[in-house]
Amino acid sequence: MKLAVFCSDSAAGPSLGVLDASDSKILALDSDRFPRELPELCALGPEGLHRLDAWRREAPASAWHALADVRLRAPLMPRRNVICVGKNYRPHALEFHRSGFDSSSAASESAEPALPVVFTKAPSAVIGPGESIPSFLDETGTTDYEGELGVVIGRGGRAIPREQAMDHVFGFTIINDVTSRQLQRDHRQWFLGKSPDGFCPMGPWVATRDELPDFGAARLRTFVDGELRQDALLADMIFDVPAIIAAISRRTTLQPGDVIATGTPEGVGIGFEPPRYLRPGSVVRIEIDGIGELQNPVA
């Protein structure tokens, strides 16, 4: 299933909804039967999804909205920082090191990390599909894009073994880990360069784990103004999703609704000579097979 948050003319505020099999219609969840927000739905586990699937199959046709008639929002607003993994594709780790903006390694031999590089983005950075990336908040003019697979935690836990990690995954989404490269480098720690408001587009929805049974075979592609910039297999990650979950949860408790951005492949703006940063008027589109596409203009 695919779950999204949307606004329609018939509702006073955003609604959590489920898409039909063709991704052309969406149905608002009955708040008397199901949670109003995705983190609570994540916590219900497989049993909750089975009940939801049975309910949507019985819903009358009149209850569905055409997807073209609604406005999608971010599929969830994280209650804690978005957890991010850096330099998780070898070619990107090398291009990042060569760019001179990598404050996490001092020598070429350390460009590829031996352990996951973990940082966070503020929840206030999250925006939804179609919302503008406010590059004007980055006065350095070095705003860059990073297409990434987002993992949504369904079952929390600490010290999760790698072999059990996927049992804790609710689903997947798309994230653009927008970054001010100058701030990222100047402050050494990456939080400020990663966390301006609006610098974490997310969406267009969350695809439950069964939608991507072999997500490693899926491709991630990023386009800027229609030009293909990034194209990689998710299987090319240095640390795969189970390894990431095991590493993060070793001493830190993960909670239902936590979001993990798993890193970006090569082809970001600083990988070019000269760098190709985002500019007002640009449009970034990220596609991941089995999930969909996330598109945002730049303001």
Burial 192-231 (b: 16+ CB within 10 A, else e): ebbbbebbbbbbbbbbbbebbeebeebbbbbbbeeeebbe
Q: What is the SS3 string spanning the chain?
A: CEEEEEECCCCCCCEEEEECCCCCEEEECCCCCCCCCHHHHHHCHHHHHHHHHHHHHHCCHHHEEEHHHCEEECCCCCCCCEEEEECCEHHHHHHHHHHCCCCCCCCHHHCCCCCCEEEEECHHHEECCCCCECHHHCCCCCEECCEEEEEEECCCECCCCHHHHHHHEEEEEEEECCEEHHHHHHCCCCHHHHCCCCCEEEEEEEEEHHHCCCHHHCEEEEEECCEEEEEEEHHHECCCHHHHHHHHHCCCCECCCCEEECCCCCCCHHHCCCCCCCCCCCEEEEEECCCEEEEEEEC
Confidence band of 213 (pLDDT split at 50, 70, 90): confident
pLDDT above 90 for 10: no
Tokens of 100: 């001179």
Confidence band of 106 (pLDDT split at 50, 70, 90): low
Query: What is the CA 79 to chain-centroid distance, rounded?
Result: 15
Q: How confident is the model at residue 103, as a pLDDT?
A: 60
Dump pLDDT digits (tens) for 249-296.
999 999 999 999 999 999 999 999 999 999 999 999 999 999 999 999
Q: From residue 60, how far is each of 28, 63, 65, 192 by CA, in Å?
A: 12, 6, 11, 47
- State the average pLDDT over residues 87-95: 81
Cα–Cα distance between 104 and 113 in angstroms, integer?
9
Which is the CATH superfamily of the domain at 82-297?
Fumarylacetoacetase-like, C-terminal domain (3.90.850.10)
Q: Whose structure tokens read 């610098």?
A: 199
CATH 3.90.850.10 location in the chain: 82-297
Q: How confident is the model at residue 113, as a pLDDT?
A: 86
| Contact yes or no for 232/219 (Cβ under 8 A) | yes
- State the average pLDDT over residues 158-171: 97
- State the average pLDDT over residues 104-125: 81
What is the model's pTM? Answer: 0.94
Dump pLDDT digits (tens) for 44-66.
989 999 999 999 999 999 999 99
